[in-house]
Structure 1
Amino acid sequence: MDENAAQASTGASGLAPPAIVVMGVAGCGKSAVGIALATALDTVFIEGDRLHPSENVARMARGEPLTDQLREGWLDAIGEQIRATIAKGQGVVAACSALKRGYRERLRGFCPDIVFLYLEIDPATARRRVGNRKGHFMPASLVDSQFAILDPPGQDERALTLDATGPVDELVGQAMRLVRRS
């Protein structure tokens, strides 16, 4: 991530409040890292999974991957919540897979200064983690479909890549060091 991205995400320095999207495939730890990061930054946390329309949840629960078209309204709901939170002068951390560049660009349409925190993980670890989750609609059988469409952030994107197999507190610490750097 470039220095400008770090500066744009540093609310404590008097710049715009941070807008961070924790992204990656199912099982990478988006929610756990996102909640901990939002707490550390004293910002609002948005759980993207809760904004899926019921039709999307039912489809995934049946083991059917979402199409780009089915994701559009969901991404817009997340983007609108990010925009509304920033408009109130509050920082925000959102958990959203944002698997494709186009999805990230759609979210940037709501808030151009979003910084993406990409939690990189291998397929076997992601499948194991998703398989061990209790009470979540996303089955482990869909993990491979997420890797099939995954377009990791490019060097020209405002993004930081972290190894998602590390402990949550270490991942948050790495993200905090970047966010606080000016």
Structure 2
Amino acid sequence: MGVSGCGKTSVGKLLASYLGHRFIEGDSRHPPANFEKMTAGVALTDADRWPWLEMLAAELAAADDTVISCSALKKSYRDLFRDRAGKSITFVFLQGTRTTLASRMNSRKGHYMPPSLLDSQLATLELPTRAVDVVTIEIDKPLERIVSLAMTKLAFMATRQRMQSR
């Protein structure tokens, strides 16, 4: 999870590959109207996002061993996934500075999300502070290192959960 340009797709694909899990690229599930708005530089509203989030939450609930990339910018969006999953889930929050995010977005060619929407995404983002099911990874590292850190933190969380359930 995270704002545009943080590397959700790249990290999600590699993480899923390492874990032997299925990968769902959440943005690919947006309805055409959402793509049209974003391409035109218009930020999505909650009304635009909810049907998309509901659909992703249903996919998550229906599948095991799945990694989904999704911005999940607000706590209420993450709560939807928690409520609908029917199982324990963990979010990997990819966090970066505005400068890093803008640089990444500016270097992308042909992407539907224009860099002009970064500030609206940052304004919408509700940081997942104090959430026990979120691991935060700074994106100022190479992709392999980001995924390695995510896997280490996920393994630690899983071990901690097993020990607490005893």
Give the TM-score normalised by the residue count of structure 2: 0.90
**For residue 36 of structure 2, what is the amino acid of its counterpart?**
A
**For residue 46 of structure 1, what is the amino acid of its counterpart?**
I
- 1:24 aligned onto 2:2: yes
Aligned-pair distance for 1:73? 0.7
- 1:40 aligned onto 2:18: yes
Q: Could you tell me which residue of structure 1 aligns to residue 162 of structure 2?
A: none
Aligned-pair distance for 1:178? 2.3
- 1:64-83 to 2 correspondences below 5 Å: 64-83=42-61
Aligned-pair distance for 1:83? 1.1
Aligned-pair distance for 1:80? 1.2
Q: Which of 120, 142, 145 is residue 95 of structure 2 equivalent to?
A: 120
CA distance in 2, matches of 1:94, 1:135: 22
Give the structure with the higher percent helix: 2
- Taking only aligned residues, the RMSD between alpha carbons, in angstroms, comes to 1.1
- 1:150 aligned onto 2:129: no
Aligned-pair distance for 1:159? 0.2
Q: Could you tell me which residue of structure 1 aligns to residue 139 of structure 2?
A: 164
CA distance in 2, matches of 1:118, 1:48: 15
- 1:106 aligned onto 2:84: no
CA distance in 2, matches of 1:67, 1:97: 13
Count residues in correspondence: 156
SS of alignment partner, residue 162 of structure 1:
strand
- Runs of 4+ in structure 1 off by over 4 angstroms are none
Q: Which of 97, 109, 117 is residue 71 of structure 2 equivalent to?
A: 97
Indicate if the aligned counterparts of 2:135 and 2:154 stay in contact, CA closer than 8 A: no
- 1:50 aligned onto 2:28: yes
CA distance in 1, matches of 2:155, 2:99: 33
Q: Could you tell me which residue of structure 2 aligns to residue 14 of structure 1?
A: none
CA deviation vs aligned residue, 1:83-135 (integer Å, no higher than 9, x gap): 1112xxxx011110001101101111221522110000111211121121122
CA distance in 1, matches of 2:90, 2:67: 10
Higher relative contact order, structure no. (Cα contacts within 8 Å, ≥ 6 residues apart): 1
SS of alignment partner, residue 137 of structure 1:
coil
- 1:139 aligned onto 2:114: yes
- 1:129 aligned onto 2:114: no
**For residue 4 of structure 2, what is the amino acid of its counterpart?**
A
